[in-house]
Amino acid sequence: MARAAVSGRLTWRVATLAEARWETATARTLVLDLPDWPGHLPGQHVDVRLTAPDGYRAQRSYSIASAWSGGGPVELTVQRLEDGEVSTYLTDVYAVGAPVELRGPVGGWFVWRAAQPAPVLLVAGGSGIVPLMAMIRARGAVRGRQPFRLVYSVRTPDDAYYAGELARRVRDDPGLDVHYIYTRRTPEDWPEPPKRISVATVNTHGWPPDFGPACFVCGPTGFVETTADILVALGHDPRRIRTERFGGTS
């Protein structure tokens, strides 16, 4: 398997919330000012640490949503989980101008590198879009020529993150295609009823295995298991299928 060298100690840094925006009714993007950030690759994540006034602490990992181009803020998109002690703070309480502790970037496997020439298939389930969006943004930032296809499964149109930006990028970023799957409710003029990801979806909207695409799959455990099994069944080399499973973190 490919190796990635990450060296040096990951120290806690203090980030400040510069601005925030809602992607859906329950997902909030945090735009964080981070002095001396060393940069990151799309797909990497950070650990966020919160400390209560009495010293109680909690840490969680969040994927980075933004691409790094040598400067500027770092964006995280946090999905509110109803029983989540950290996510509910970050979506509902955390205010512009307030500090938060963060360290990273973490993870040298689930990353896309702009020097890789292979076509790319991204398959996202729900909030699993976040690290894949970082890859799309990184490709856009360097005007990458690698063909990218995103298959994005959401419950309803209201649950899709980054919908406006993705529509704009499909228009402006040559070689980027986006296909949505709606599992509960479709847009009104959608040609098919709600459905889950299937062999047919991946076969139609992915790449043929002969093209040797790099596949990145991110979402809840069941979604990732299903999608990775489909890709293997369609003949994709398991070593070219990289996965990140969300589940159990709140």
Partner 1 sequence: MNIISPGFGGRRRSSRADLPPGQYLTHDFPVLSAGPTPRIPLDRWRFTVTNESGTKQTWNWPEFQALPYEDVTVDIHCVTKWSKLGTSWRGVSLDTLLADTDTAADYAMVHAYGGYTTNLPLEDLLDGKAWIAYRYDGEDLHPEHGGPARMLVPHLYFWKSAKWVNGVEMLIADEPGFWESAGYHNYGDPWREQRYQGD
Nearest-angstrom CA–CA distance, 249 and 87: 9
The order of strands in the sheet holding 74-79 is 57-63, 45-51, 99-106, 13-22, 27-33, 74-79
Least separation in angstroms between residue 240's CB and partner 1 is 9
Q: Torsion angle of alpha carbons 130, 131, 136, 140, nearest 10°? A: 100
Minimal distance in Å, beta carbon 109 to partner 1?
5
Does position 6 interact with partner 1 (CB under 8 A)? The reply is yes
Q: In angstroms, what is the minimal distance from the CB of 73 to partner 1?
A: 18
Binding to partner 1 (CB under 8 A) within 18-77 occurs at 47, 49-54, 56-61
| Binds partner 1 (CB under 8 A): choice among 19, 158, 177, 229 | 229
Residue closer to partner 1 by CB (options 42, 166) is 42
Contacts of 50 (CB under 8 A, 6+ apart): 57, 58, 59, 86, 89, 100, 101
Reported in sequence order, the residue ranges of 116-206 that DSSP labels E, i.e. its strands, are: 120-125, 148-154, 176-182
SS3 state at 45: strand
Structure tokens at 15: 């980030």
> Please, what is the minimum distance in Å from the beta carbon of residue 41 to partner 1?
11
Question: Which one among 114, 118, 163, 232 touches partner 1, defined by CB under 8 A?
Answer: 232
Residues 165-224 that bind partner 1 (CB under 8 A): 221
Which of these segments, 21-29, 137-145, 172-180, 235-243, binds partner 1 (CB under 8 A)? 235-243
CA distance linking residue 133 with residue 137, whole number of Å: 6
- Number of separate helices (H) and strands (E) present in the chain: 5, 11
Whether the Cβ atoms of residue 132 and residue 166 lie closer than 8 Å to each other: no
- Closer of 85 and 177 to partner 1 (Cβ): 85
Q: Which of 21, 69, 96, 109 binds partner 1 (CB under 8 A)?
A: 109
Interaction site with partner 1 (CB under 8 A): 1, 3-10, 12, 14, 47, 49-54, 56-61, 83, 85, 88-89, 93-94, 98-101, 106-110, 221, 225, 228-229, 231-232, 238-239, 241-243, 245, 247-249
